[in-house]
Amino acid sequence: MNHIILSLFSVVMSLFLWGTNASAFCGFYVGKADTKLFNKASEVVIARHDNKTVITMANDFKGEVKEFAMVVPVPTVLDQDQIHIGDAAVLKHLADYSAPRLVEYFDENPCVRYELMERRSLDMAKNMAPASASARERDTALGVTVEAQYTIGEYDILILSAKESHGLETWLAENGYKIPHGASTVLHSYLKQDMKFFVAKVNLTEQSKLGFTHLRPIQIAFESPKFMLPIRLGTINADGAQELFIYTLTKQGRVETTNYRTVRLPEAQEVPLYVKDKFGDFYRDLFTQQVKREHERGVFLEYAWDMTWCDPCAANPLSADELKNLGVFWQERPNVKQRGGTMPQVQNVFLTRLHVRYDAAHFPEDVMFQETSDRNNFQARYILRHTWTGTDECPAATAYRQQLRERYEHEAQTLANLTGWNIGAIRHAMNLASSPEGTVRKWYQQLWAN
Amino acid sequence: MGQDKGTSQPSEPSVWRDPRFYQIASLSTLLLYGLLVLHFDISIWQIVITISTAQLMQYVGTRYFHLLFFDPKSALISSLSLCLLLRTNDCAVAALAAGIAIGSKFVIRWKDKHIFNPTNLALVVILASGLGWISPGQWGQVAWFGFLIACLGSLVVTRAARADVTLTFLTFYVGLLVARALWLGDPFTIPLHQIESGALLIFSFFMISDPKTTPDSRTGRIVFALIVALTALYIQFHFFKPNGPLWGLIACSPLAPLLDRLFPGVRYDWSNPATGYAPAAVPLSLSVQPQRRFS
């Protein structure tokens, strides 16, 4: 029985969907960048108010489930009713709702010109808004105490405390857990900080009884002043950097990291139309480029929004029940009377989605957070602008056609700059050389043009 | 670092010995770098409002308390520090913070010294009321190293008499973080990462070093720096609150008058920086300057 220790968790993924939801201000939604794009990605939802915290940890463990195990440092010993099995569908809904998105606009006939005003209003709108007796003796000899053990859903869960890390390491090894080399130092540090260890593995009998084929997310609820995520164990045996998506649900406002730089991703950039067919590649390369720019030390803000609405919507906002499922406990839930009956209305929930690519060299310390009073909305939104192809003739239409070439070039450069793609290849893909306007004339050619 | 001769020399009251010029230059550079390269979450309007409110308050205070002349330098340093640290979505909050900072200098006083560092008090009031926040993680490594060098450089250039409190605080604070890492068995990259905050540098070089709110004698200042460092770390690692030094200084500031009593020294004068040793002849230079200073 060899369990591979996953320091935190691995991915929950979802299908890459293309939809077309019409929307008001922020363009017509055409697609989103899925968390599935990234390898070795994990997802965590933290719902927190005052010191009360609910953490949902999701897995997309691909190997044999009997080999799955998870060790998470936790600040307190957890009772059975502090542990819950979540719903992967809700987490997927949250990921879809907050995903980086692609929108499109269509240029108006320049002969009827109010486009400029509309663009300004768009920018404004963004802000508006089990152990036998002998085993027990062995535990004592190693200084390890099994504080509690439960079977919840398809998981066998242990809460361990220990006197010293070597004892804990030996205990884990003797009980069939594969401990990565170098874990001892990190375990030692957590023990000194009075942390306990939450260890989960799959109970195969329970799993077959329940009939689930996938591993459902595990949720823990506790009270602690620590607003943090332990990532250090995850960096020990990792080959290369790991991806982590952190969703926080808070009452007051946006959440940011206090010991790493939280960086907003570039947003509202106009990119060439052909990106529509490769938005996944575009977003993955954009993210990699931003990580490099921040010297691999940044935590990136992908979405920050009040849970009551979205514009454009990559998925509908989560219902009050779904939020409750993810640990939002502070909603008073006034029921809104509707024709079909009453429906609980979401209130006072602010979502922040952070994306981090981390390794031991650049992220030596666990990630610490703080909640700010910032309720400004932010979304990683990228824009396709379709040109007007009408045949009307007027001075404005001539001017419009003349500036198109410059606009295409600007879009090409934006794309190259955002993703690190080769500018020549981009121009080629855009058919820039063969565009109707021909090549751009130099200033002196324009000066002495005949 | 400080020199005793500062007190006994009649010294040319050289304007350029005033360390505040260097402080203003390094803070402004950092703010520009923050705006242009690091994209700090602050609008130009917030900067304009913060600086002008601070100057206005300084002017009103100067007139109301009949000071000899209007000196914009300290108020400018306070407002630049606020711009670097305070984040809010409301310009009124920025104005309120600047108002609290400069206003407190004139109002909250004990024996002709203000008790709280103006920027520190304003930040703590805004944080406690939930009107704004500080982003302690907003600094990149480049900015941090550059700023560290600028700060240390200004200490050397100005031969700042009150560098002792800064250096003592940093030594205790960093020393205790390293000691904690040793105790936990953590690699040294962790304490190194923990000190890599521009906010810590602003705190050490511009707040706790404020000669007007620290004890007058060197012994007093060293004791003060130790107490602040211990309080800051306690807040950080016991209550898990960010910005430990800010809360630590505000909690310890009322101790400064007490330490002045235990270890008497000479009051600081910006135009004549001194360590604060009190040889017999010195109080004379104070007595000929009956004018209260609020800078």
- Out of A58-67, A374-383, A387-396, B205-214, the most confident range is A374-383
Q: Please list the helix, strand and coil fractions of chain A in percent, rounded to the nearest 5, in that order.
A: 30, 30, 40
Contact B136 A259 (CB under 8 A): yes
Residue A364 is nearest to which of B41, B133, B190, comparing CB atoms? B190
Domain residue limits, chain B: 18-279
Residue A193 is nearest to which of B184, B187, B242, comparing CB atoms? B184
Chain A residues with CB-CB distance to B140 below 8 A: 261, 294-295, 297
User: Which is higher by pLDDT, B83 or B72?
Assistant: B83
Chain A residues with CB-CB distance to B133 below 8 A: 370, 372-374
> H or E stretch including A228?
strand A228-229
CATH topology of domain B18-279: Ammonium transporter fold (1.10.3430)
The token duo for B260 is 């002045």
Collapsed DSSP state (helix, strand, coil) of residue B206 = helix
Q: Which of 102-131 (B) contact A at CB < 8 A?
A: 130-131
Verify that A88 and A13 share a domain, yes or no. Answer: yes
Q: A338-382: per-residue pLDDT in tens?
A: 444 445 566 789 999 999 999 888 899 999 999 999 999 999 999
What angle do helix axes B118-129 and B91-107 make, rounded to 10 degrees? 130
User: Which is higher by pLDDT, B16 or A332?
Assistant: A332
Collapsed DSSP state (helix, strand, coil) of residue B74 = helix
Rounded Cα distance, B282 and B294, in Å: 21
The token duo for A390 is 């009408």
Verify that A155 and A275 share a domain, yes or no. Answer: yes
Domain residues for the domain of A412 are 391-450
Verify that A58 and A129 share a domain, yes or no. Answer: yes
Verify that A305 and A420 share a domain, yes or no. Answer: no
Residue B183 is nearest to which of A192, A294, A376, comparing CB atoms? A192
Helices (H), B130-217: 141-158, 163-184, 189-195, 198-202
Verify that A422 and A310 share a domain, yes or no. Answer: no
pLDDT over 70 for what percent of chain A?
78
- How far lies A291's CA from each of A275, B85, B124, B168, in Å? 21, 25, 33, 37
Q: A34-79: per-residue pLDDT in tens?
A: 776 676 678 999 999 989 999 999 866 666 777 778 888 998 889 8
Type of residue at A198? F
Neighbours of B203 (CB within 10 A): 30
- How far lies A124's CA from each of A120, A267, A353, A361, in Å? 6, 14, 22, 40
Verify that A248 and A137 share a domain, yes or no. Answer: yes
Q: Is the pLDDT of residue A332 over 90?
A: no
Residues 6+ apart with CB under 8 A from A149: A130, A131, A156, A157, A158, A159
Verify that A359 and A399 share a domain, yes or no. Answer: no
Where is the domain boundary, A364, A386, A408? A386
Range scoring the smallest mean pLDDT among A131-140, A182-191, A364-373: A131-140
Residues 6+ apart with CB under 8 A from B21: B15, B73
Rounded Cα distance, A48 and B256, in Å: 38
Where is the domain boundary, A386, A408, A425? A386
For residue A304, give how far its alpha carbon lies from the nearest alpha carbon of chain B (Å). Answer: 14
Residue A258 is nearest to which of B132, B136, B184, comparing CB atoms? B136
Contact of B219 with chain A, judged by CB distance below 8 Å, is answered with no
Verify that A38 and A118 share a domain, yes or no. Answer: yes
Rounded Cα distance, B172 and A183, in Å: 30
Question: Which pLDDT score, from 0 to 100, does residue A30 have?
Answer: 66
Q: A205-261: per-residue pLDDT in tens?
A: 888 888 777 788 899 999 999 999 998 887 876 677 888 999 999 999 999 999 999
Q: How many CA atoms lie within 13 A of A134 on its CB side?
A: 0
Query: B150-164 burial, b for 16+ CB within 10 Å, e for fewer?
Result: bbeebbeebebbbbb
A109 burial level (CB within 10 Å; 0-12, 13-18, 19+): middle
Q: Is the pLDDT of residue A16 over 70?
A: no
For residue A259, give how far its alpha carbon lies from the nearest alpha carbon of chain B (Å). Answer: 5
User: Which is higher by pLDDT, B173 or A390?
Assistant: B173
User: Which is higher by pLDDT, A324 or B67?
Assistant: A324
Q: Which residue of A has its CA nearest to B138?
A: A261
Residues 6+ apart with CB under 8 A from A233: A5, A7, A8, A71, A73, A183, A186, A187
Rounded Cα distance, A58 and A53, in Å: 16
Verify that A197 and A335 share a domain, yes or no. Answer: yes
For residue B262, give how far its alpha carbon lies from the nearest alpha carbon of chain A (Å). Answer: 37
Contact B185 A252 (CB under 8 A): no
Q: Is the pLDDT of residue A122 over 70?
A: no
Verify that A56 and A198 share a domain, yes or no. Answer: yes
User: Which is higher by pLDDT, A175 or A409?
Assistant: A409
For residue B182, give how far its alpha carbon lies from the nearest alpha carbon of chain A (Å). Answer: 10
Q: List the end-to-end C-alpha distance of chain B, in Å, as a whole number.
A: 23
Rounded Cα distance, A243 and A123, in Å: 31
Compute the average pLDDT of residues B284-289: 35
User: Which is higher by pLDDT, A18 or A432?
Assistant: A432
Rounded Cα distance, B190 and A185, in Å: 13
Collapsed DSSP state (helix, strand, coil) of residue A391 = coil
Verify that A56 and A73 share a domain, yes or no. Answer: yes
Where is the domain boundary, A332, A364, A386? A386
Question: Which pLDDT score, from 0 to 100, does residue B115 have?
Answer: 81
The token duo for B178 is 């390293």
Contact B89 A375 (CB under 8 A): yes
Range scoring the smallest mean pLDDT among A379-388, B44-53, B192-201, B209-218: B209-218
For residue B291, give how far its alpha carbon lies from the nearest alpha carbon of chain A (Å). Answer: 43
Backbone angles phi, psi at A315, to 5 degrees: -160, 160
- Per CB distance under 8 Å, which residues of A are interface residues toward B? 185, 188-189, 192-193, 225-228, 252, 256-264, 294-295, 297, 299, 364-365, 368, 370, 372-376
Contact of B186 with chain A, judged by CB distance below 8 Å, is answered with yes
Q: How many domains does chain A have?
A: 2
Verify that A190 and A308 share a domain, yes or no. Answer: yes
ipTM of the complex: 0.80
Contact B194 A368 (CB under 8 A): no
pLDDT over 70 for what percent of chain B?
80
Chain B residues with CB-CB distance to A227 below 8 A: 240
The answer to whether A137 and A171 are in contact (CB under 8 A) is no
